[in-house]
Amino acid sequence: MMWTSIKRVFKAGFVNVMRNSFVSLASVFVMTMTLLIIGSLMFLNILVGEFVSYVKDKVDVNVYFVTDANESAILDFKTILEKIPEVSYITYTSRDAAIAQFRARHEDDQLTLQALNELGSNPFGAALAIKAKQPSQYEAIAEFLKGHETDASGTAFIDSVNYAQNKAVITELEKVTEYVRQFGWFTILIFALASILITFNTIRLAIYTAREEISVMRLVGASNLYIQGPFVVEGTLYGTVSGIISLIILFPMAWLLRGPVETILGSDILAHYLSAFPMFFVVLVFSGALLGGISSFLAVRKYLSV
């Protein structure tokens, strides 16, 4: 008996969707727009995450050694630094590589190159570019470097460290990362609530068109479940279809953004979308169905007093 009632409820829900074609199209359109906004915000979070990662990759602490520092001592110091838990990796630039890089950057500036040639010697010292695992860890690395500005004999070893210049960038990067994360979740929550309200009012229209039929059902003693059920099924179908349409539309959006994002950040946004497709599916389809069902349930309870 229960199974028969459930089948009737589902059948009635499907019939309502087909019969109220205009209302169904309007509901699906509104929910699709809402879910597309939520999906776009998810895309924005991915893009911002890629941008933050890109900036993080550009931020490091550079250690410049005195010109007469022994190369083997520098490489030994590099080995010590690599054992620090906060350090991700270190890039070594020798004196010869430093002057070669300088010449390459100023190849069109003949006056600078002429002045360099007149020195008769290499004015550049070796350098280490230290990359931390997290931006907040650079300060600990800088503190460690302060205790190694001279070698064991007291001779100058480290000429300068550029942490002070990069500290402002590192601090702002941490703030941006946190703000973006909070903004993303807050905005998604706002649009989820907006989706419930919009669907709530759209389902009211479907209830209004079936008001006479509902009155007859109540007069003949239909149960609350039998009256509410078809509308909940109807709202769930709207959300499910809207979620699937949103997923389909987001694919060409990712494809169109692929070129610009790869040019700017060197990241394939389409590959990110495909790899995160299960998450998009759960958020858009399941959430759409859940929002549609909840909105329908609340609308029936409030406006039919069942």
Residues 42-78 pLDDT 10s: 777 777 777 767 766 777 788 888 888 888 888 888 8
Please state, as a whole number, how many other Cβ atoms lie within 10 Å of the Cβ of residue 128. Answer: 22
Closest CA to 204 of 304, 285, 124, 113: 304
How far from the centroid of its chain's Cα atoms is residue 239's Cα? 24
| Residues in the chain, overall count | 306
Provide the pLDDT for residue 302: 59
Provide the pLDDT for residue 1: 46
Give the CA distances from residue 292 to residues 179, 188, 236, 280, 300, in Å, rounded to whole numbers and listed in that order: 30, 16, 5, 17, 12
What lies within 8 Å, CB to CB, of 294 at 6+ separation is 196, 235
Just give the CATH number of 67-156: 3.30.70.3040
| Cα distance between residue 145 and residue 70, in whole Å | 17
| Cα distance between residue 51 and residue 54, in whole Å | 5
Residues 221-264 pLDDT 10s: 666 667 777 777 777 887 888 888 888 888 888 888 777 777 76
| Cα distance between residue 298 and residue 283, in whole Å | 21
Q: Which residue has the tokens 């990759």?
A: 57
DSSP 8-class letter at 162 = T
| Cα distance between residue 67 and residue 149, in whole Å | 14
Instruction: Give the start-to-end residue ranges of the domains of the chain.
Output: 2-55+172-304, 67-156
Closest CA to 240 of 291, 199, 297, 188: 291
DSSP 8-class letter at 94 = -
Q: Which residues of the chain have pLDDT under 70?
A: 1-24, 52, 55-56, 151-154, 164-165, 167, 170, 173-174, 177, 192, 195-196, 198-200, 202-203, 205-207, 209-214, 217, 221-225, 264-267, 301-306
